[in-house]
Structure 1
């Protein structure tokens, strides 16, 4: 499923896509409390990894 080699530009593109998709979704419909908690959890995990660098 995952590529053998991960490129920085690929990660940045994915992060940009996540941002745009989230912006679109919150403007077009509401997310459930559980969905927001899941998104918040995963973003917090990403921030932990970035803060360790």
Structure 2
């Protein structure tokens, strides 16, 4: 039982780390998309 409990904890740690990395990747992708959309907008700053 002790082995299964430690394995469960390890699995939870791995899953939480993977989801954190996935959220970070998603966030950076969103930032790139937002920056791209902002650069497409006809702003006086981007034209100069």
Pair member with larger Rg:
2
Which structure ranks higher in relative contact order (CA pairs < 8 Å, sequence separation ≥ 6)? 2
TM range (shorter): 0.3 to 0.5
TM-score (norm 2): 0.47
TM-score (normalised: structure 1) = 0.43
More helix by share: 2
